[in-house]
Structure 1
Amino acid sequence: MINKSIEKRIYLILAAGILVISFAGVFVAMADAPAIIIAFYRMFFTIAVLTPVFIYRKDCRLELFFDRRPVIIGFFLAIHFILWVTAFEYTAVANAVIFIALQPLFTLLFERLWAKEDLRPGIYRGLFIAITGSIIVGAGDLNNLFASIRGDTLAIMAAFFAGLYLFSGRSLRKKLDYFPYIYTVYTYATAFLLIAVIFSGYSFTGYSQTNWLLFIGLALGPTVIGHSVLNLAVRYVPATLVSTTIIGEPVLTSLLAWILLGDKIPPLTIVGGTFIIYGLLYTMRRNKQNKKLANPK
């Protein structure tokens, strides 16, 4: 059991991580490169930044790459990125807001099947409130709902692999230190994305300066900081709780799009965003309460 001060810091770090991840949707919307190229360079530049740290740290050993578990987790992450970025090409933002809410449902399903000890009363209710808010946000453009079956399906599949990636990494995160874990997983994800680009036939070069800046921005912000924070938090709190906080990303992305791109914020986004934030705060509060009941002094 972690003490209160560390737990508070984990929640604050998690909130900051979600804020940084929220830039991903804006950066992807601004890029005009093929989806698989965006996904690859996002991870490639991430590894480029982290490699000097891997070489310097004494707890980073090449033996880590011979464990098949990081290979599997890296594969899940690569598939998630490919599906998520590609979905933006075929479906409306409103649809993506709705279907991203499925991610914690998938994580909850995995935990119910394989890690029942992680489930705590209160998470279900907070999850339901947050998902309701996400549906309200997406309801602002119901005419577009299921307008593109291909894009909607890709978004659902991206949510599935995101939940699988977070859940499958939790047991390994408890055994490995933070940095060796993320570097190994990110390296394998990059390798899988490299193979995907080669088979896709797209060129590795010839993209505008704006695209290269966006690739680097996706690596430094949403990945190096954002996704790494998720991997840090999942060691200390249930994967479902971490996944639930990600539902707040569409609200923050809408705000960032308004500030950076001039996109208007529909009234339903404000209403739904209130539900989402309340659901997240409720889930975290109940999680703390149940920890106290399970571990009385």
Structure 2
Amino acid sequence: MAISKKHFALLLLLLAAYSTHLFAQANSKPITIGVTEGYYSKILNETRTINIYLPEGYNQTDTLKYPVIYIPDGGVDEDFIHLTGIIRFDTQSWVNRFPQSIVVGIKNINRRKDFTFPVANLDFLEKTGFKKEMFPAYGGSTNYIAFLQKELQPYIEKKYKASTNRTIIGESMAGLLLTEIALNHPTLFNTYIIVSPSLWWGDEALLHQPNALLQNKTHKPVNIYIGAPNRKEDEQMYQEAQGLYNMLKVDNRIRLFFDYLPDESHATALHQAVYNAFKMIYGK
């Protein structure tokens, strides 16, 4: 049966579309931003997913070593990708805000357990709007900090071209964790980027207890950025962030930055805060 001109033209269009599809498939490849590893922690007694970004031009045989930026909320579906984008931008040669860096994101399993310190009871939650049943497990920060110090940092610095110049970024519960580390284990990191920290945990205990950072008169200089979103959303959280700043500003070995973000909420503050933090700490 003869094919009409109309059907022939349609057939040619279909063949052209199919050929284009095959060409696109043959010439496509995935976009890669890093690698994912499983790391078994003896301290935590579990395997943690670690996401790692290596700078452009990274070569394992080079003598150059890179600063490392750690993200406790570092899953691919958490903060790893968008924060790595900021870091990649800021380390481009035409921006050159700070040196090219390795990024280590730690995917969460139970952040409310890992990022909180032990407390006698959860009665303080009544004032925060949280319910006790939302914290079936809590108080695991001691183990988590030991995991960072004794396992993950040595592993990264042995396997990769990593220096001991370390930054850590965290918001909300992770901001609480960072505050605990900065106050009680200040030498673990050189720079702390603390955003909208949940300092209400333990009835604001971190703001009132003695700490190693201020008591140790010989600690090395550290950078601490504190970002606070719109105070109208949560006045208590703003006041706590301001209280942390006021507590730390008495020590001139701390390069301290307080950043009020009135256009951001607790949910949106992190991305803008991290961009601001790098700009404030390093300039251009």
* TM bucket normalised to smaller: under 0.3
Higher Cα radius of gyration: 2
TM-score, normalisation: structure 2: 0.24
TM-score, normalisation: structure 1: 0.24
More helix by share: 1
More strand by share: 2
Q: Which has the higher contact order (CA 8 A, sep 6+)?
A: 1
